[in-house]
Amino acid sequence: MTLAPILVALALGQSDPYVRSRVKAGDATTQCLFWTADRIVWNQDAAGNPGTPGDTEFEAIRRSFRSWQDIFEDCGNLTLQEGPLINERKTGYVRNQENHNVVLYRTSDCHATVSADDKCWDDDTCGNQYDCWDDDEGTIAITLTTYDKRSGIIYDSDITFNAARYTFTTVDSPGCFPPVTTNCVSTDVQNAATHEVGHFFGLDHTRAAGSVMFPSASVGETSKRTIDAGSRGFVCSAYAKGGPSQACMHPAISEDLGPKAGCTATGAGAGASLPLLSAWVVARVLRRRREATS
Ligand SMILES: [Zn+2]
């Protein structure tokens, strides 16, 4: 008898103005994920995306962070700072080492280059070991967040783009029709990155119309470059200016047992150039990866 109300709650939650990421995805009895550091430094891997003209992809990523930073400056409590370009091809968090919140592009697909019986598939380490995209082939980007599983406090968050499959573009218009080139909008870097940076701060997907956290993106889409009022509301309440970052369960569990790695979010969603593929694509992108990796 308790199942029905829970299902109703989940259905409603999917279209809330914003949904916070939880220690266990979608489980409101577990703590929310949030940063407590005052200042967050993020870096871009110096390789950028070889398929994007010039340095335009670096600038697109900066604009995405900047649009969130503008909200934090207005009503939030975190300071974002871009660090220098670095050479970092690994994502995740390693204890007792310097860790970066890195943005990088994978240009080859592990599914095509790594043997199916390689141990890395079981260990979920193929991406770092072979520098390839090891997640669902239809996903545009992944935000891998490492957090304390009891307190929900975020330690590290890394954004990886699937450049093995998608043509990432940075122009404003027009939308691409085949053939796809970098002179039209195919998979817009800023559009996808603004969504991923939402995950970076602890936002989960919502199906609210117009949300940057809507779980999919179509070819030619640039609407997620602009952060919606609901997602803005998340910053203003979860990270309210002048106060501490807000947990979801009180009293907040402050005991720090050390970080637990987990994937809190998947990509902005796969876009298909052919409408006939859209149903298949939607089904693919709704699969969320959230399993622990350590
Ligand atoms: Zn997402």
Distance 1 CA to ligand 1 centre (A): 32
Q: Give the pLDDT score at 292.
A: 26
Question: How far is Cα 263 from Cα 107, in angstroms, rounded to an integer?
Answer: 20
Q: Is residue 151 within 8 Å of 254, Cβ to Cβ? A: yes
Distance 86 CA to ligand 1 centre (A): 25
Distance 200 CA to ligand 1 centre (A): 10
Average pLDDT over residues 89-118: 94
Q: Is residue 150 part of a domain?
A: yes
| Residue-wise pLDDT tens digits, 238-249 | 999 999 999 998
Confidence of residue 108 (pLDDT cuts 50, 70, 90): very high
| Residue-wise pLDDT tens digits, 35-81 | 998 899 999 999 999 999 999 999 999 999 999 999 999 999 999 99
234 Cβ contact partners less than 8 Å away, ≥ 6 residues apart: 17, 18, 20, 201, 203
Q: Give the pLDDT score at 13.
A: 55
Distance 266 CA to ligand 1 centre (A): 5
Q: Give the pLDDT score at 281.
A: 28
Q: Is residue 294 part of a domain?
A: no
* Structure tokens belonging to residue 244: 């501490």
Rounded to the nearest integer, the mean pLDDT of the chain is 83
Q: Is the pLDDT of residue 261 over 80?
A: no
* Structure tokens belonging to residue 188: 């817009």
Distance 242 CA to ligand 1 centre (A): 29
Question: How far is Cα 92 from Cα 216, in angstroms, rounded to an integer?
Answer: 24
Question: How far is Cα 133 from Cα 49, in angstroms, rounded to an integer?
Answer: 13
pLDDT above 70 coverage of the chain, percent: 81
Distance 237 CA to ligand 1 centre (A): 21
Distance 6 CA to ligand 1 centre (A): 23
Q: Is residue 143 part of a domain?
A: yes
Distance 203 CA to ligand 1 centre (A): 9
* Structure tokens belonging to residue 17: 């103005």
Q: Give the pLDDT score at 72.
A: 98
| Residue-wise pLDDT tens digits, 177-227 | 888 888 999 999 999 999 999 999 999 999 999 999 999 898 999 999 999
Q: Is residue 290 part of a domain?
A: no
Q: Is residue 291 part of a domain?
A: no
Distance 256 CA to ligand 1 centre (A): 27
Q: Which amino acid is at 290?
A: R
Domains held by the chain: number: 1
Confidence of residue 94 (pLDDT cuts 50, 70, 90): confident
Q: Is the pLDDT of residue 274 over 50?
A: no
Distance 264 CA to ligand 1 centre (A): 9
Strand ranges (DSSP E) for 218-258?
Answer: none
165 or 285, which is more confident? 165
242 Ramachandran zone, left/alpha/beta (phi>0; psi -120 to 50): left
Q: Is residue 263 within 8 Å of 170, Cβ to Cβ? A: no
Distance 226 CA to ligand 1 centre (A): 16
CATH code: domain of residue 127: 3.40.390.10
Q: What angle do CA 61, 281, 139 make, to 5 degrees?
A: 35
DSSP letters, 76-126, are BS-EEEE---B-----S--TTS---EEEEEE-SBHHHHS-TT-HHHHHT-H
Residue numbers of the domain that contains 144: 3-285
Question: How far is Cα 173 from Cα 219, in angstroms, rounded to an integer?
Answer: 12
6 or 39, which is more confident? 39
Q: Is residue 276 part of a domain?
A: yes
Q: Is residue 262 within 8 Å of 202, Cβ to Cβ? A: no
Distance 193 CA to ligand 1 centre (A): 10
Residue 193 is classified by DSSP as H
Distance 269 CA to ligand 1 centre (A): 7
Q: Is residue 145 within 8 Å of 154, Cβ to Cβ? A: yes
Q: Give the pLDDT score at 294.
A: 23
Q: Give the pLDDT score at 188.
A: 96
Distance 216 CA to ligand 1 centre (A): 7
Q: Is residue 293 part of a domain?
A: no
Q: Is residue 180 part of a domain?
A: yes
Distance 228 CA to ligand 1 centre (A): 15
Q: Is the pLDDT of residue 268 over 60?
A: no
- 10 Å Cβ neighbour count for 219? 22
